[in-house]
Amino acid sequence: MSPNKMTVQKYMDSFNKSDHEQILSCLTEDIEWFMPSAFHLKGKDAFDKEIENDAFTGSPTIRITRMTEENNVVIAEGTVRAARKGGGLLNAMFVMFLKWRTPG
């Protein structure tokens, strides 16, 4: 597994364990998190505030079903299951695009 894919796997594993510090260690200061029709966060501080969302309880279960990589871009597909504080579950599918900068 490439170093970029290992970082994505570490990131997902960190969410499964609710390891806040390890999640942040996978991110750069200029991270952007965009969910169409939902929200657009910019910066590590904004992301930090969303890691432990008040609408949910416990740790989510995140599974990666496929990862591909080309030209410093990793595309990860998978599923998320999380318990809502008010009852019920969030069941979602995701596709993430993660781009690494070339040093220099």
Q: How confident is the model over 12-38, as pLDDT tens digits?
A: 999 999 999 999 999 989 899 888 888
Mean pLDDT of 80-99: 94
The per-residue pLDDT of the chain, averaged, comes to: 91
pLDDT(78) > 70: yes
CATH match for 3-99 among 1.10.10.10, 3.40.50.620, 3.40.140.10, 3.10.450.50: 3.10.450.50
* pLDDT score recorded for residue 39: 85
* pLDDT score recorded for residue 50: 84
User: Where are any strands of DSSP class E within 1-55?
Assistant: 32-35, 39-42
**Residues β-bridged to residue 23:** none
d(C-alpha 85, C-alpha 100), whole Å: 35
Residue 102: pLDDT band (50, 70, 90) is low
Residue 103: pLDDT band (50, 70, 90) is low
d(C-alpha 43, C-alpha 56), whole Å: 22
Percent residues over pLDDT 90 in the chain:
72
